[in-house]
Structures are given as structure tokens and as C-alpha cells.
Amino acid sequence: MAFNDVREFIDKLEQEGELVRMTDEVDWNLEAGAILRASHEKRLPAPYFEKIKDYPSNYKMAGGILANHRRVAIAMDMDPDTPPSELQEEYLKRSRNPIKPVVVKSGPCKENIILGKDVDLTKFPAPIIHGGDGGRFFATFHLNISSEVQPDGTTWTNYGMHRGMMFDEKRLGVTADPPTHFGGMLTRCEERGETMKTAIAIGPEPTCLICSASPIPFGVSEVDVAGGLRRKPVELVKCETSDILVPATSEIVLEGEMRPHEREVDGPFGEFTGYGVAGQLPRPVMRVTAITHRNNPVFTYSNEGMPLADSHSIVSITKAAECLKALRNFGIDVKAVNVPPECALQLTIVSVKTTYANVATDIANIIWSVRASRSMYYLIVVDENVDPFDLPMVLHALSSKCHPGKGIFQIKKAPIISYTPYADSHERLHRSGARAYFDCTWPKDWPAEEVPIRTSLAETYPEDMQKKALDRWKKYGF
């Protein structure tokens, strides 16, 4: 059953032991960030703060609500303990059956309407999240919403998740890199000398959040895919100061505009890579023209950094699923794909049946042609008997099957994102770096007798002896 809003989702997380309500007052200045970071690193439930310093008692904060695979499964109305490989398959299945949204006259997000001179972003508990951050970040777990008329006359509505730092009461930055769909829309508006209307939705229902951080193809509206994931259309309502449509049950909606070529420096900020490497960079400015919000608003936020955080858990499922689909479409006999959240979305592991020589090269070319892999700079290709979700098994394959002189391949010039940890300042500025893939498969031209056999329970004992050994352990309670 689809969640109508983020509040129903929060209640379900609490029922499943994935959220804890904290009744003591918490400070929006670093303390809320530190508690959420501890939650991520210690694998604790998501914190829900019921009392926030300097803010009314009816204002709440919720952090990390999609910060592990159990929470992603709950958002998709699946068993919380669904394995990642099954989450991938279900994501692909549902995304192939998108459901268009429905437009309604009004919704909970219209319970309070603030316009023009009364707009004040500081009325909401936007936190300073990390020590060293450049300011208060209003948008860290949200939807950036923009629309564009396509050549065929249809309207494409894009949902993205591009962080936003408050500059003052009415302006915030938007990290809209040109290669992103949102950044591309802004660039095209700027080329025409036009102002781009946009909106930010804080706290929509959870599948919209999943889709906003996922590699949905160009021209496809994420809200349609969200409808497919939740198996029910998303209800949308029109903004007060533009024709942008936003999820009707959002907790807080910022309406605004982005003027051509207007930039202001924001940052630093702790990134999903586990480092704060981007420093301060000029960012497009969103001028807020209206704020609408629910009574008793819940401010959702994320604390990116060392895994696991929200982006790691969401994108590890959706990026892997898109890579799996691309390999299947090419005809590769792929067994499984893992984008380990522990590696901050910078590594892909592919398990494959090596039906021909140098299949790892084809896999690398396919993987890096997928938009989903913009920040995935390392690829490990393993044989079909290596489970890519079993990281100790993958490390064993890497250290024992990848020839240091023949199995490591570098692509010395490749696009990167602006906050890539390994890149120097010049590379980050120009988004130019490198990639590498590791062929951890046995060479196809080796005679069968030369291929080493792993010394493991499954491969060096008869099936009846394996069963006997495991039965013996079961007898003793294991």
C-alpha cells in the first residue's frame, strides 16, 4: 500500500524499528547533524526530533529516513529484509510501468501560504550539518522541480536532488552542474536569456525522494516513475507563483526563480564521497518568491559523508539496476551487479559468465556509457561463481585473479563530478579525471587444467559431505 505522505512513512519506520523519536531539545546548529552522523556510522535508527532549539514546539525534524536498504524496501512497500538484488529487480519491474500523476485543486502543502516580502527561510530549522560547512543548508533531502517543453510539444518535468545553502532570508544556492538534467534545463534557459521557474519540495512521499536521486533517463518525468514504484499516481498541486506542479502532501514547498547567469559562492559541504573536497564554488541562485507548508511541518534532511547515508542506500539500488538493465540489453550474460554503498557509489562490481575473451572490456564500455555511472570511477569484473554482494569474496578475487600487469586497465581521460576526492583542484574545476577497471576473471584462453580451483566448502567437497557438515552444525544450534 502506497504511503500518502512522509508522515505515514515515518510511522512505519518506527513500527519496524528503523526510527526513534527524540523528545529532548536538539540544536539545529551542528547537534542535529552530529546525532544523524552517529546514526549513520553506528547503523542506528533514523532520528526524529520533536523539539528544536529556537523553533516552535510543533516544528519537527527527521533525518536519514532512507539511509539503509531496509528503509528503501519499506518505502516500496516490501519486506524490510528484501535482499538488494531483489530490490533492484523490483525497481526495474515497477519503473517499466510508470503511472502518470493526477493534478488536484489543493493539498496539505497549502495549509499555510507565505508570499513576497513575508518570505523568510530562517523561519524553518535548516541545520548547519557538518563542522566546516559554509552555512545552513535548507535543501539536502528534497526535490528540485523544473519543467521544460520538448520539441514534440510535451512537457518534461524533472525531479532532482541538488543541495541548497541559504544565502539570506530569500535566496539559496543550487548545486546544478551542467551534466545533470536540472543543470541542463538551466543552461538552456540561460542561453535563451530566460529566467527559469523552479520549486523545492521538502518532505514529499518517499518514492518521489527515491526517484529524485536516481538515474532516470533524459526526457522521462521522475514523478511518473514514482507512480510506478508506489503503484499509485502521485497527487500534484500547482504553485502559487508559477505553473510548476509539486507533490500535494509535501511538508514545505519553496517556489522561486533562477535568473540567467546569476551566481554566488556557496560551500564548503560534506559530500557523499566521504570528504568535503569541493570547497567553495559559484552556484546558481534561487530567489524564493513563495513558501507554502503544512501545519506542524516536518523538516527532512540528510547528512552526507562516510557511508551509509541516504544517497548511498538509494543510489546503490537504482544505479546498479540501471547498469544491470544496460548489460542485459547488450546481451552480456550478467549474473548480478553491485554498487556497494560502503564505497560511496564510486565502485561497481559485475559478476558475469565469461562467454568470450576480454568480456570485461565490453562491460566497462557499457557501464560507463550509462548516465548512472558518472561518479563510478572503479569497476571490478568477476566470474559468475563470485557473489558481487559478498565483499570478502570480491576482495579475494581481486587479490588472487587480477594480474597486476595484465588485468588493470586505465582510462586516463574521463568526465568526473566536481567533488571527486582523488582529483586535484584543476581536475575538479574542469570535471576531468580518469577511470580504471579490474579484470578479475580467469583468461578465456587458459586450458581448463590451468584454472585454479578454489578451496571452499562448495568446490572441494562432495554435495553429500557438504550437507553432512552443515547438518552437524545445525544440531549444535548454528
Q: Is residue 308 part of a domain?
A: no
Residue 457, H or E segment: helix 457-460
Non-local CB neighbours of 36 within 8 Å, separated by 6+ positions:
47, 63, 64, 129, 301, 302, 303
Count of the separate structural domains present in the chain: 2
For residues 77 and 152, membership in a common domain is answered with yes
CATH of the domain at 274: 2.30.110.10
Q: Is residue 474 part of a domain?
A: no
Structure confidence by residue, pLDDT tens digits, 98-107: 999 999 999 9
**pLDDT value of residue 469:** 94
User: Given pLDDT bands bounded at 50, 70 and 90, which one contains residue 430?
Assistant: confident
For residues 92 and 196, membership in a common domain is answered with yes
For residues 132 and 211, membership in a common domain is answered with yes
For residues 205 and 63, membership in a common domain is answered with yes
Structure confidence by residue, pLDDT tens digits, 123-150: 999 999 998 889 999 999 999 999 998 8
CATH of the domain at 359: 3.40.1670.10
For residues 128 and 270, membership in a common domain is answered with yes
User: Given pLDDT bands bounded at 50, 70 and 90, which one contains residue 215?
Assistant: confident
Q: What is the mean pLDDT of residues 5-9?
A: 97
**pLDDT value of residue 251:** 98
Q: CA–CA separation, 398 vs 409, rounded Å? A: 13
Structure confidence by residue, pLDDT tens digits, 21-35: 999 999 999 999 999
Q: CA–CA separation, 265 vs 270, rounded Å? A: 16
User: Given pLDDT bands bounded at 50, 70 and 90, which one contains residue 313?
Assistant: confident
Question: Which domain range does residue 399 map to?
Answer: 331-458
For residues 291 and 414, membership in a common domain is answered with no
For residues 68 and 152, membership in a common domain is answered with yes
Q: CA–CA separation, 304 vs 130, rounded Å? A: 9
The lowest-confidence range among 338-342, 384-388, 429-433, 437-441 is 429-433
Task: Kindly report whether the global pTM for this prediction surpasses the value 0.85.
Answer: yes
Q: Is residue 289 part of a domain?
A: yes
Q: Is residue 320 part of a domain?
A: no
Q: Is residue 253 part of a domain?
A: yes
- CB of 2 closer than 8 Å to CB of 205: yes
Structure confidence by residue, pLDDT tens digits, 347-404: 999 999 999 999 999 999 999 988 767 778 999 999 999 999 999 999 999 999 999 9
